[in-house]
Amino acid sequence: MDTITRTPGGALARLAGWAQRHRWLAVALWALILIGVTFTSQLAGSAFHDDNSLPGTESQQVVDLLDRTAQSGASAQIVLKADGGLAANRAPIATMLGEVRSLPHVRSVTEPTLSPDGRIGYATVTFDAASTDLPYDDIVKFADTAKRAGPVEVALAGDPVKRISGSGGPAEGVGLLAALVILVFLFRSLLAAGLPVLTAVFAVGSTLGVITVVSHFVDIASYTSPLMMLVGFGVGVDYALLIFSRYRTEILAGHDRDAAARRALDTAGRSVLFAGTTVIIALLGLLALGLGGLRGVALAVALTVLMTMLASVTLLPALLSLFGKRLERGIRRHALRKEHGKAWRRLADGVQRRPLAPLAIGLTVLIGLSSPAAGMRLGFADASTDPAGSTTRQAYDLLAEGFGPGFTGPLAIVTEDGDTVALQRKLADTPGIARVLPPMGKTVLVFPTTSPQDEATAELVTRLRAGVLPTLPGHYLVGGSVAAATDFAGAVADRLPLFVLVVVGLSALLLMVVFRSILIPLKAALLNLLSIGASLGVMTLVFGDGWFGAQPGPIEAFVPVMIFAIVFGLSMDYEVFLVSRMHEEWRRTGDARLAVREGLASTGAVITAAGAIMVLVFGAFLLDPSRMLAQFGLGLAVAVLLDALVIRCLLVPAIMRLLGARAWWLPRWLDRRLPHFALEP
């Protein structure tokens, strides 16, 4: 039946043809990959490691100096509380500590240090190996033994304890279920809705197994797996949805199933590959920051996006061939009840009639939401942000109650040529310091009057470095978790211009090559930056200022740059999907207004559905007990929501109308020098 037009013969069309002819082989290969890497990862286990080191910074120098003098091995704290006083419960406490000392991998256990009122105390347990090297079952045995202290309330803190604390949430399942519901509503078919979800599951599941194995050889952060699923499920479902939507269009245009699949891959497939490439470029741009802890995360998430692209152009055509007859019946039956694109044409015409009004409204919304981001405060998560009811959160609260809010975040002042006695006296007279311990060699520990998450503690670090310590003879370094967060924020601020230049510059260059235009890449870059600013502003209001009942505090130090990379790439996705259809119409008709209208009519529904899927997948991570993942989920969800509704439905049509034919202008001398890569066959 494919006699209407010639079947495109690009590389992606040929790839789709291969997947159709060998559909069972393609599905079997993906199944074998998924099963194989999953089985291997289960045997190998994971070795994720959080590396927040920043070579060359003051806080990292303190860490390096202390590591040279301290014994290696993880540590944990057994925190005790008895309203009648711990002294009255000396016997059960001593028995419990004795049992802990006899456990495997326990090197030493200190005697309890008591609070001034004697109701709260803690004992420090030192292990003979790093937290990631301790057997899981031995950590569980330690936790169970430590809690056997008779009538005394016991809570546990430390990295080994975090390994056995439940941290999973229903986010992934809720997000995928919500995506399935939207797809069923869009296509009126459970089978059609299931194909994009199935494609995403194969891609993300395979990548997750690979990264789990690779974590034994490369430093990969512990939060990488849920972040991979967060991004992978979102883009995986979206990419498959966009190809399937074009497949549906080709079926309705009169092509047979195999030809429709090839044409979908040769058009929407090109857009998917280009869009995915921009996401990968944005993620790899994180390498320009030189922050070691983010390298493994960036590579892992970039690999996830790559796998979703491969699944979309190899696995999905095979599935379309397997279920093509049933899908075609559903597509044609649904098409009889709905006129495609009518509402989106009306929207495009309305925006183009008075483009200045939607332009002003959209820019006001984005700039207004971006303004709170100027007051964003960065920091590192500690036990105070752990889920309420967890043993690590209980331990934090007990230590703050017994020893003061600054006890859990001490500052370490280290000197090699200074007078530690004079240093101790000077610090004792400094406002904001609750307690100064006697010098331990060349190190003095300081306990602030405020908690590690309090802005006043960060200000104390700055004041010590800039005003207090320079008045003493010698050279002094300030370390500790709050000092590290301060240094991290400074390092990001120093390297951010290079990062933005690399990501924005390369993405704009790719858009210029594809669309043969100067103004479209410039427009895309500016609007993408506004959507990122708005998402960071909303995140600041919620997690920084405590809106909607969230616990106020600093934003996790690496979250903004990760959101920048991911959101910039995803925003380019929608730019490519929408503008490529406009470009297709512009090349066919030369009518700028018609190109805007037909481009929005062709892609408006699918972009909105894709945006809704991403919003729900990302927003579901607000259910995760991890504050860091909740911040990621909110930031990404807000950015995609604004991008799909405000930018793609209002701002882009308005700006394209105002630019008219000038939107597609490129100087001839530049056109001759740029390579050619078309998204349309």
User: What domains are there in the chain, each with its CATH number?
Assistant: 11-39+169-378+487-673 (1.20.1640.10), 58-164 (3.30.70.100), 410-479 (3.30.70)
Q: Cα(7)–Cα(681) distance, rounded to whole angstroms?
A: 10
Q: Cα(410)–Cα(423) distance, rounded to whole angstroms?
A: 16
Q: Of 368, 348, 407, nearest to 115 (Cα)?
A: 407
Q: DSSP readout, 360-389?
A: HHHHHHHHHHHGGGGG--EE---GGGSPTT
Q: Over the range 284-302, which residues count as b (16 or more CB within 10 Å of their CB) and which as e?
A: bbbeebbbebbbbbbbbbb
What are the structure tokens assigned to 48, written together?
Answer: 């994720």
Q: Cα(146)–Cα(110) distance, rounded to whole angstroms?
A: 13
In contact, 588 and 524? CB cutoff 8 Å? no
pLDDT at res. 169: 53
Give me the sign of the Cα torsion angle 480, 486, 489, 493: negative
CB atoms within 10 A of CB 655: 23
Which residues have C-beta within 8 Å of that of residue 302, sequence separation ≥ 6?
279, 280, 283, 284
Q: Cα(189)–Cα(502) distance, rounded to whole angstroms?
A: 43
pLDDT at res. 3: 36
**Per-residue confidence band for 542, with pLDDT thresholds at 50, 70 and 90:** very high
Q: What is the 3-state secondary structure (H, E, C) of 293-310?
A: HHHHHHHHHHHHHHHHHH
pLDDT at res. 185: 76
Q: DSSP readout, 221-257?
A: -TTHHHHHHHHHHHHHHHHHHHHHHHHHHHHHTT--H
**Per-residue confidence band for 29, with pLDDT thresholds at 50, 70 and 90:** very high
Q: Average of pLDDT values for 434-454? A: 88
Task: Look up residue 320 and give its amino acid.
Answer: L
Q: Cα(531)–Cα(525) distance, rounded to whole angstroms?
A: 10
Share of residues in the chain with pLDDT > 70 (%): 93
Looking at the predicted structure, is the pLDDT value of residue 362 above 90?
yes
Q: Average of pLDDT values for 246-254? A: 84
CA distances from 250 to 2, 263, 264, 516 (A): 10, 7, 7, 26
Q: Tens digits of per-residue pLDDT, 265-311?
A: 888 888 888 888 888 888 887 877 777 677 888 888 899 999 999 99
In contact, 618 and 640? CB cutoff 8 Å? yes
**Per-residue confidence band for 489, with pLDDT thresholds at 50, 70 and 90:** confident
In contact, 285 and 567? CB cutoff 8 Å? no
pLDDT at res. 610: 83
Give me the sign of the Cα torsion angle 517, 522, 525, 530: negative
Question: Distance of alpha carbon 338 from its chain centroid, rounded?
Answer: 38
pLDDT at res. 247: 87
Task: Look up residue 210 and give its amino acid.
Answer: V
Q: Tens digits of per-residue pLDDT, 633-676?
A: 999 999 999 998 899 889 999 999 999 889 888 888 888 888 87
Q: Cα(258)–Cα(245) distance, rounded to whole angstroms?
A: 15
Give me the sign of the Cα torsion angle 24, 29, 33, 39: positive
**Per-residue confidence band for 557, with pLDDT thresholds at 50, 70 and 90:** confident
* Average pLDDT taken over every residue of the chain: 85
Share of residues in the chain with pLDDT > 90 (%): 26
Looking at the predicted structure, is the pLDDT value of residue 78 above 90?
yes
- DSSP β-bridge partners for residue 78: 123, 156
Question: Distance of alpha carbon 614 from its chain centroid, rounded?
Answer: 13
Which has more pLDDT, 335 or 249? 249
Give CA angle at 499 (494, 504), nearest 5°.
Answer: 140
**Per-residue confidence band for 6, with pLDDT thresholds at 50, 70 and 90:** very low
Looking at the predicted structure, is the pLDDT value of residue 7 above 50?
no
What are the structure tokens assigned to 95, written together?
Answer: 């028995």
Q: Cα(557)–Cα(372) distance, rounded to whole angstroms?
A: 17
DSSP structure class, residue 285: G
Q: Tens digits of per-residue pLDDT, 139-153?
A: 999 999 998 888 899
Q: Cα(246)–Cα(681) distance, rounded to whole angstroms?
A: 14
pLDDT at res. 534: 95
